[in-house]
Amino acid sequence: MRLVRSALLASVACAMAFPAAAADLRAAPITKAPAYAPAAAYNWSGFYIGGHVGGTWGDKDWTDVTFTTPFATGSHDMSGFLAGGQAGINWQVGNLVLGVEGQISWTNADGDGTCNVGVWTCRTEANWLGTVAGRVGYAFDRAMVYAKGGAAFINEGYFINSVGAGTLLASTGDDTRTGWMVGGGIEWAIFDNWSAKVEYNYMDFREDSFAFRTPTSAAFRTFEVDQQMHVVKAGLNYRFNWGGQGGVRY
Protein backbone atom coordinates (compact mmCIF):
# COMPACT_ATOMS: atom_id res chain seq x y z
CA MET A 1 0.00 0.00 0.00
CA ARG A 2 2.82 2.34 0.82
CA LEU A 3 4.31 1.70 -2.60
CA VAL A 4 1.01 2.41 -4.35
CA ARG A 5 0.48 5.60 -2.33
CA SER A 6 3.97 6.84 -3.26
CA ALA A 7 3.34 6.22 -6.96
CA LEU A 8 0.04 8.13 -6.83
CA LEU A 9 1.67 11.12 -5.11
CA ALA A 10 4.43 11.19 -7.74
CA SER A 11 1.88 11.13 -10.56
CA VAL A 12 -0.08 14.01 -9.04
CA ALA A 13 3.11 16.07 -8.65
CA CYS A 14 4.08 15.53 -12.27
CA ALA A 15 0.61 16.49 -13.45
CA MET A 16 0.74 19.76 -11.48
CA ALA A 17 4.22 20.66 -12.75
CA PHE A 18 3.48 20.06 -16.46
CA PRO A 19 1.25 23.15 -17.08
CA ALA A 20 3.87 25.43 -15.53
CA ALA A 21 6.59 23.95 -17.70
CA ALA A 22 4.38 24.19 -20.77
CA ALA A 23 3.72 27.86 -20.02
CA ASP A 24 7.44 28.56 -20.15
CA LEU A 25 7.69 27.19 -23.69
CA ARG A 26 7.24 30.07 -26.19
CA ALA A 27 6.55 29.65 -29.88
CA ALA A 28 9.56 30.40 -32.10
CA PRO A 29 9.20 33.79 -33.82
CA ILE A 30 8.24 33.75 -37.51
CA THR A 31 10.88 35.55 -39.56
CA LYS A 32 9.83 36.92 -42.93
CA ALA A 33 12.23 37.26 -45.80
CA PRO A 34 13.31 40.89 -46.26
CA ALA A 35 11.43 42.77 -48.96
CA TYR A 36 13.63 44.13 -51.75
CA ALA A 37 12.56 47.00 -54.04
CA PRO A 38 13.03 46.33 -57.75
CA ALA A 39 16.07 47.91 -59.34
CA ALA A 40 15.49 51.49 -60.48
CA ALA A 41 15.19 52.03 -64.25
CA TYR A 42 15.67 55.37 -65.96
CA ASN A 43 12.73 56.74 -67.95
CA TRP A 44 13.67 58.92 -70.93
CA SER A 45 10.15 60.23 -71.51
CA GLY A 46 9.68 63.97 -71.33
CA PHE A 47 10.48 67.35 -72.82
CA TYR A 48 14.09 68.55 -72.70
CA ILE A 49 16.27 71.51 -73.62
CA GLY A 50 20.04 71.79 -73.77
CA GLY A 51 23.17 73.12 -75.41
CA HIS A 52 26.08 71.77 -77.42
CA VAL A 53 29.52 72.59 -78.81
CA GLY A 54 31.51 70.93 -81.56
CA GLY A 55 32.98 71.25 -85.00
CA THR A 56 31.85 71.05 -88.62
CA TRP A 57 33.58 70.48 -91.93
CA GLY A 58 32.57 69.93 -95.53
CA ASP A 59 33.42 70.43 -99.17
CA LYS A 60 32.10 72.69 -101.93
CA ASP A 61 32.07 72.03 -105.65
CA TRP A 62 31.48 75.13 -107.75
CA THR A 63 30.31 74.89 -111.38
CA ASP A 64 29.86 77.91 -113.64
CA VAL A 65 26.55 77.41 -115.50
CA THR A 66 26.40 80.85 -117.10
CA PHE A 67 27.33 79.48 -120.50
CA THR A 68 25.66 76.77 -122.55
CA THR A 69 28.46 74.33 -121.78
CA PRO A 70 29.23 74.52 -118.07
CA PHE A 71 32.71 73.84 -116.78
CA ALA A 72 33.95 73.03 -113.30
CA THR A 73 35.52 76.08 -111.73
CA GLY A 74 36.97 74.35 -108.69
CA SER A 75 36.25 73.13 -105.20
CA HIS A 76 37.38 73.83 -101.67
CA ASP A 77 37.01 72.56 -98.12
CA MET A 78 35.52 74.49 -95.23
CA SER A 79 35.58 73.93 -91.49
CA GLY A 80 34.98 75.66 -88.19
CA PHE A 81 33.65 75.68 -84.65
CA LEU A 82 29.98 75.56 -83.75
CA ALA A 83 27.85 76.06 -80.64
CA GLY A 84 24.11 76.15 -80.10
CA GLY A 85 21.06 74.68 -78.47
CA GLN A 86 18.51 71.92 -78.89
CA ALA A 87 15.03 71.05 -77.69
CA GLY A 88 13.00 67.90 -78.05
CA ILE A 89 10.58 65.41 -76.58
CA ASN A 90 10.82 61.64 -75.97
CA TRP A 91 8.31 58.82 -75.55
CA GLN A 92 9.63 55.61 -74.01
CA VAL A 93 7.88 52.25 -74.51
CA GLY A 94 9.83 49.45 -72.86
CA ASN A 95 13.40 49.92 -74.05
CA LEU A 96 12.35 51.76 -77.22
CA VAL A 97 12.62 55.57 -77.13
CA LEU A 98 10.94 57.62 -79.86
CA GLY A 99 11.41 61.37 -80.15
CA VAL A 100 11.54 64.57 -82.17
CA GLU A 101 14.35 67.10 -81.82
CA GLY A 102 15.28 70.48 -83.25
CA GLN A 103 18.80 71.95 -83.11
CA ILE A 104 20.38 75.21 -84.22
CA SER A 105 24.08 76.06 -84.15
CA TRP A 106 26.03 79.23 -84.78
CA THR A 107 29.22 78.51 -86.73
CA ASN A 108 32.27 80.31 -88.05
CA ALA A 109 32.99 77.63 -90.67
CA ASP A 110 34.57 79.00 -93.83
CA GLY A 111 36.98 78.09 -96.58
CA ASP A 112 38.22 79.07 -100.02
CA GLY A 113 40.15 77.80 -103.00
CA THR A 114 41.25 78.89 -106.43
CA CYS A 115 38.75 78.46 -109.25
CA ASN A 116 38.33 79.30 -112.94
CA VAL A 117 41.84 78.02 -113.68
CA GLY A 118 43.35 80.01 -110.83
CA VAL A 119 41.95 83.39 -111.91
CA TRP A 120 39.55 83.73 -108.98
CA THR A 121 39.29 82.66 -105.38
CA CYS A 122 35.92 81.11 -104.54
CA ARG A 123 35.02 81.51 -100.87
CA THR A 124 32.21 80.26 -98.59
CA GLU A 125 31.29 81.66 -95.17
CA ALA A 126 28.66 79.83 -93.09
CA ASN A 127 26.60 81.55 -90.38
CA TRP A 128 24.45 78.84 -88.85
CA LEU A 129 23.29 75.23 -89.19
CA GLY A 130 19.99 73.70 -88.11
CA THR A 131 18.17 70.37 -88.10
CA VAL A 132 14.66 69.09 -87.40
CA ALA A 133 14.73 65.32 -87.05
CA GLY A 134 13.03 62.26 -85.66
CA ARG A 135 14.96 60.06 -83.24
CA VAL A 136 14.76 56.32 -82.53
CA GLY A 137 16.71 55.03 -79.57
CA TYR A 138 17.25 51.91 -77.49
CA ALA A 139 17.71 52.45 -73.77
CA PHE A 140 19.97 50.40 -71.51
CA ASP A 141 18.68 51.96 -68.28
CA ARG A 142 20.73 55.19 -68.03
CA ALA A 143 22.48 54.77 -71.40
CA MET A 144 20.80 55.17 -74.77
CA VAL A 145 22.03 54.72 -78.34
CA TYR A 146 20.00 56.43 -81.05
CA ALA A 147 19.73 57.19 -84.73
CA LYS A 148 18.11 60.26 -86.25
CA GLY A 149 17.08 61.62 -89.62
CA GLY A 150 15.24 64.59 -91.06
CA ALA A 151 15.70 68.04 -92.59
CA ALA A 152 18.87 70.13 -92.50
CA PHE A 153 19.35 73.88 -93.01
CA ILE A 154 22.42 76.05 -93.55
CA ASN A 155 22.76 79.81 -93.92
CA GLU A 156 25.87 81.03 -95.72
CA GLY A 157 27.27 83.44 -98.26
CA TYR A 158 29.41 82.92 -101.38
CA PHE A 159 32.14 85.26 -102.60
CA ILE A 160 34.40 85.52 -105.65
CA ASN A 161 37.65 87.44 -105.14
CA SER A 162 40.52 88.18 -107.48
CA VAL A 163 43.62 86.08 -106.95
CA GLY A 164 46.52 88.00 -105.41
CA ALA A 165 44.86 91.35 -104.67
CA GLY A 166 41.88 89.69 -103.00
CA THR A 167 39.49 92.29 -104.42
CA LEU A 168 35.82 91.32 -104.13
CA LEU A 169 34.45 90.73 -107.61
CA ALA A 170 31.00 89.35 -106.82
CA SER A 171 28.90 87.78 -104.09
CA THR A 172 25.48 86.30 -103.43
CA GLY A 173 24.64 87.70 -100.01
CA ASP A 174 23.45 85.29 -97.32
CA ASP A 175 21.25 82.41 -98.43
CA THR A 176 19.53 79.61 -96.49
CA ARG A 177 19.70 76.18 -98.08
CA THR A 178 17.60 73.12 -97.24
CA GLY A 179 18.74 69.51 -97.41
CA TRP A 180 18.51 66.23 -95.54
CA MET A 181 20.48 64.72 -92.69
CA VAL A 182 21.13 61.43 -90.91
CA GLY A 183 23.11 60.79 -87.77
CA GLY A 184 23.39 59.01 -84.49
CA GLY A 185 24.79 59.24 -81.02
CA ILE A 186 25.05 58.01 -77.46
CA GLU A 187 23.39 59.70 -74.47
CA TRP A 188 24.00 59.06 -70.76
CA ALA A 189 21.77 60.08 -67.84
CA ILE A 190 24.34 61.50 -65.43
CA PHE A 191 21.70 62.69 -62.94
CA ASP A 192 17.94 62.17 -62.68
CA ASN A 193 17.16 65.14 -64.96
CA TRP A 194 20.53 65.74 -66.64
CA SER A 195 22.04 63.81 -69.52
CA ALA A 196 25.13 64.19 -71.70
CA LYS A 197 25.47 63.16 -75.34
CA VAL A 198 27.96 62.78 -78.18
CA GLU A 199 26.52 62.95 -81.71
CA TYR A 200 27.51 62.84 -85.38
CA ASN A 201 25.45 64.31 -88.25
CA TYR A 202 25.86 64.00 -92.01
CA MET A 203 24.12 66.71 -94.06
CA ASP A 204 23.60 66.79 -97.82
CA PHE A 205 22.44 70.03 -99.46
CA ARG A 206 22.73 68.78 -103.04
CA GLU A 207 23.25 71.27 -105.89
CA ASP A 208 21.70 74.71 -105.94
CA SER A 209 22.12 77.64 -108.34
CA PHE A 210 23.19 81.09 -107.14
CA ALA A 211 23.31 84.37 -109.04
CA PHE A 212 26.42 86.41 -108.25
CA ARG A 213 26.43 90.19 -108.47
CA THR A 214 29.23 92.74 -108.38
CA PRO A 215 29.48 95.31 -105.55
CA THR A 216 27.54 97.68 -107.82
CA SER A 217 24.73 95.08 -108.16
CA ALA A 218 25.51 94.25 -111.76
CA ALA A 219 24.95 90.64 -112.84
CA PHE A 220 28.18 88.66 -112.84
CA ARG A 221 27.85 84.87 -113.20
CA THR A 222 25.59 82.01 -112.11
CA PHE A 223 27.08 79.05 -110.28
CA GLU A 224 25.82 75.71 -109.07
CA VAL A 225 27.23 74.87 -105.66
CA ASP A 226 27.13 71.29 -104.43
CA GLN A 227 27.93 70.62 -100.79
CA GLN A 228 27.91 68.07 -98.00
CA MET A 229 28.63 68.81 -94.34
CA HIS A 230 29.73 66.76 -91.32
CA VAL A 231 29.11 67.71 -87.70
CA VAL A 232 30.45 66.25 -84.46
CA LYS A 233 29.20 67.70 -81.20
CA ALA A 234 28.93 67.07 -77.47
CA GLY A 235 25.86 68.29 -75.59
CA LEU A 236 24.10 68.53 -72.26
CA ASN A 237 20.32 68.20 -71.79
CA TYR A 238 17.96 69.02 -68.93
CA ARG A 239 14.83 66.84 -68.95
CA PHE A 240 11.56 68.02 -67.44
CA ASN A 241 9.31 65.41 -65.84
CA TRP A 242 6.42 64.63 -68.14
CA GLY A 243 3.35 63.66 -66.13
CA GLY A 244 5.63 62.56 -63.29
CA GLN A 245 7.24 59.92 -65.51
CA GLY A 246 10.63 61.46 -66.23
CA GLY A 247 13.80 60.48 -64.44
CA VAL A 248 14.04 57.37 -62.27
CA ARG A 249 11.15 54.96 -62.09
CA TYR A 250 10.61 51.91 -59.85
The domain spanning residue 73 has which CATH number?
2.40.160.20
Residue 22 lies in a domain: no
Residue 15 lies in a domain: no
Interatomic CA distance for residues 218 and 167, integer angstroms: 16
Question: Would the pLDDT of 23 be above 60?
Answer: no
pLDDT tens digits, 53-88: 999 999 999 988 887 666 768 889 999 999 999 999
Residue 8 lies in a domain: no
Helices (H), the chain: 2-24
For the chain, helix, strand, coil in percent to 5 are 10, 70, 25
* Strand partners for 170: 160
Question: Would the pLDDT of 47 be above 60?
Answer: yes
pLDDT tens digits, 139-167: 999 999 999 999 999 999 999 999 888 89
Could you tell me the residue range of the domain that residue 229 belongs to?
A: 43-249
Q: Shortest CA distance to 128 belongs to which of 80, 88, 184?
A: 80
**Count of CB atoms within 10 A of residue 38's CB?**
7
Residue 133 lies in a domain: yes
Residue 29 lies in a domain: no
Residue 34 pLDDT: 54
Interatomic CA distance for residues 181 and 150, integer angstroms: 5
Three-state SS for 14? helix
Domains contained in the chain, number: 1
Interatomic CA distance for residues 209 and 93, integer angstroms: 45
Residue 20 lies in a domain: no
Residue 17 lies in a domain: no
Question: Would the pLDDT of 134 be above 70?
Answer: yes
Residue 34 lies in a domain: no
Residue 14 pLDDT: 45
